[in-house]
């Protein structure tokens, strides 16, 4: 699981939808009171920004014509976690030629 936190318009469909699912997975994990310390330690999530990020992803999904129906459940959170957006943007471009193309637009 990972919160890319890059501009949603610079993500291919696969990564856009993937991050959306992962926001739901993070909330599910938090609601089950399971540890996400590994994700926090590796800079893969900002717990306090999951809801906002989900909204950004949904807006982009709808702009692209996807039919979004999965409401993000409520969850308790603290301001914890930090994601390096600049590094994530580079990593996303390295992993995915489609995201790399979209970043150059």
Is residue 91 one of the residues assigned to a domain?
Answer: yes
Is residue 78 one of the residues assigned to a domain?
Answer: yes
Structural domains counted in the chain: 1
Is residue 96 one of the residues assigned to a domain?
Answer: yes
| 92-6-2-30 Cα dihedral, nearest 10 degrees | 180
- pLDDT for residue 89 is more than 90: yes
Is residue 2 one of the residues assigned to a domain?
Answer: no
Burial class (CB in 10 A: 0-12, 13-18, 19+), 83: buried
Structure tokens at 64: 């692209």
Which residue range(s) make up the domain with 29? 8-103
Is residue 41 one of the residues assigned to a domain?
Answer: yes
Is residue 3 one of the residues assigned to a domain?
Answer: no
Query: Rounded to the nearest 10 degrees, what angle do helices 50-63 and 13-31 cross at?
Result: 150
Q: Report pLDDT for 77.
A: 87
Residue 42's CB: how many other CB atoms inside 10 A? 11
- pLDDT for residue 105 is more than 90: no
The helix/strand/coil state of 3 is coil
Query: What is the value of pTM for the model shown?
Result: 0.94
Q: For the residues 16-44, what does the mean pLDDT come to?
A: 97
Structure tokens at 22: 């992962």
Burial class (CB in 10 A: 0-12, 13-18, 19+), 33: exposed
């Amino acid at each position: 699981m990972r919160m890319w936190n890059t501009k949603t318009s610079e993500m291919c469909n696969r990564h856009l939808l993937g991050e959306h699912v992962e926001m739901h997975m993070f909330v599910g994990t938090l609601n089950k009171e399971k540890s996400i310390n590994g994700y926090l330690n590796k800079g893969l999530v900002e717990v306090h920004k999951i809801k906002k990020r989900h909204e950004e992803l949904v807006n982009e999904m709808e702009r692209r014509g996807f039919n979004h129906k999965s409401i993000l459940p409520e969850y308790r959170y603290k301001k914890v976690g930090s994601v390096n957006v600049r590094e994530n943007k580079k990593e996303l471009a390295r992993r995915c030629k489609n995201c790399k193309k979209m970043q150059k637009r």
